[in-house]
Amino acid sequence: MKNRIAAFFFLIMSVPVLSLGQLNIEGRVIDESDKKPLPFANVFISNTTKGQQTDDKGRFKLYNVPGGTIDLVISFVGFRTFSLQIKADTLKRPLLILLQPDAIELQGVTIKTVKDGYKKYIHLFQDGFMGKTLFSAACKLKNPKALSFRLSNDDSELIIKADEPLIIENKELGYVIKYQLEDFSYHFRQQYVSFYGYPFFEEMQTKSNKKKKEWIENRNRAYYGSTQHFFKALVDKRLVEEGYTMHKLIREQKKTFLVPMFPEKRDSLGNIVTEASKEKIIVDSADVKLRADHALSKLPTSSFARHVQYLVKTPLNESEVISPSEDIYKIDFSNHIYVVYSKEYEEPQFLSAGQKNIPQVSILSMLEPPALVEKNGHLINPLSIIFEGRWGNEKIGELLPLDYVPELP
């Protein structure tokens, strides 16, 4: 789904990018139309702290970049964002990257600008982009005027764009995130959000040892129980040890039907002894299914839900979900996966009245199989899976650099 911008990159010069086992990426950024260098273009590796601006000749060099698959991102005001998914250890020469001028959108063709869009819809952006957790609530968008709000012609979809990188201050985790937002959509009918972009992390600075310790503790808290932690445990086949349990979740359309309160009775010859009562009762198809299959248990849904949910009681093991493929792992599953993380309780705002000490629960739905994961838990194609429950509520507020490793306070 990513908007892969048409661009050319050439192997130039003769100096190898790799030296002494260190992974570096270097190159030059120029304007495709006049071939002039673009100074001060932003060059970074998405979801990391590795980045810089090009010099006056459009050159850049990133040192000690993470191994595995990464997204190299180049952005410059007035030009389309360029992204290239690569592995640094496969590059033998610097890159020459040509940026394309940003095309002007045709207004009123498929979308329409919303008057007072910020006032009307910022809450949808806040929940869908920042998230709903306590860490999410502490995030602050420093340049909200960068956002523009539009609707599809049939009013079924909200589209939010940003004309510059969003600057998000997360004081709980100690990061400033510069997020190159490429697309944000809220679908009113289905009530779900989809967005993608490229985050770049900058460490906040403090002289307070107390604050540093607090940041470490909060980052560890954000990491454990996260999708990256889960996928790493899945790859390492350590789900149980790390506190996870997986179950297959089956969803079906909700159905009810009327049956007599007292069914008819027949004798051994099939003759009717007692007529069925005229009084009817409503029977849920889920109850019939549960009586027929004792391997299933019913999960509660809201009274407005159009589906019923069944949980297969026997837990899934890792080999039923993930398989190795060369240097990456493939995740594929049918129906949905219900994941319980028992080492951390859910936050109070997500619980019903009277509930407490409830483990965190998330639901995974496969959108574009297979999902590709690296050994460190990095999900290469994040739009391949839809997250609900805890992971659906986390978003930017719990986001950490992909090379983050938990550390002691």
Q: pLDDT band for 170, please (50, 70, 90 cuts).
A: very high
Q: pLDDT band for 19, please (50, 70, 90 cuts).
A: very low
Structural contact between residues 313 and 247, judged by C-beta atoms closer than 8 angstroms: yes
What distance in Å separates the CA atoms of residue 69 and residue 67, rounded to the nearest whole number? 7
Peptide bond preceding 260: is omega within 30 degrees of 0, i.e. cis?
A: no
With H, G, I as helix, E, B as strand and everything else as coil, classify residue 299: strand
The answer for 328, left when phi > 0, alpha when psi is -120 to 50, beta otherwise, is beta
Kindly state the tokens that stand for 281: 């009762």
What are 91-127's pLDDT values in tens digits? 888 999 999 988 655 444 457 888 899 999 999 999 9
pLDDT of residue 179 exceeding 60, the answer is yes
What distance in Å separates the CA atoms of residue 140 and residue 249, rounded to the nearest whole number? 36
Residue extents of the structural domains in the chain: 9-99, 111-205, 227-254+301-398, 256-294
Mean pLDDT of 329-346: 95
pLDDT for the residue 2: 42
Q: Name the average pLDDT for the chain.
A: 87
Kindly state the tokens that stand for 68: 């595995």
Kindly state the tokens that stand for 279: 């009084």
pLDDT for the residue 285: 67
Q: Which of 105-109, 151-155, 214-218 has the lowest mean pLDDT?
A: 105-109
What are the distances in angstroms from CA 38 to CA 4, 51, 179, 329? Answer: 20, 16, 20, 38
Structural contact between residues 130 and 142, judged by C-beta atoms closer than 8 angstroms: no
What are 31-83's pLDDT values in tens digits? 999 999 999 999 999 999 999 999 999 999 999 888 888 999 999 988 999 99
User: Nearest-CA neighbor of 103 among 127, 79, 126, 120?
Assistant: 79
Mean pLDDT of 332-350: 95
What are 69-97's pLDDT values in tens digits? 899 999 998 899 999 998 888 888 899 99
What are 220-231's pLDDT values in tens digits? 999 999 999 999
Q: Which residues contact 48 (CB under 8 A, 6 or more apart)?
A: 65, 66, 70, 200, 201, 401, 402, 403
- Share of residues in the chain with pLDDT > 90 (%): 59
What are 325-335's pLDDT values in tens digits? 878 999 999 88
What are 195-215's pLDDT values in tens digits? 889 999 999 999 999 999 999
User: Nearest-CA neighbor of 221 among 394, 81, 18, 8?
Assistant: 394
What distance in Å separates the CA atoms of residue 99 and residue 97, rounded to the nearest whole number? 6
In CATH terms, the fold of domain 9-99 is Immunoglobulin-like (2.60.40)
What distance in Å separates the CA atoms of residue 123 and residue 52, rounded to the nearest whole number? 32
Structural contact between residues 283 and 259, judged by C-beta atoms closer than 8 angstroms: yes
Mean pLDDT of 133-146: 95
Of 226 and 267, the one with more pLDDT = 226
Q: Count other C-beta atoms under 10 Å from residue 346's C-beta.
A: 19
User: Nearest-CA neighbor of 152 among 122, 117, 114?
Assistant: 114
What distance in Å separates the CA atoms of residue 42 and residue 77, rounded to the nearest whole number? 9
Cα distance from N-terminal residue to C-terminal residue, the chain: 39
pLDDT for the residue 13: 36
What distance in Å separates the CA atoms of residue 55 and residue 383, rounded to the nearest whole number? 34
User: Nearest-CA neighbor of 193 among 390, 398, 387?
Assistant: 387
Structural contact between residues 136 and 396, judged by C-beta atoms closer than 8 angstroms: yes
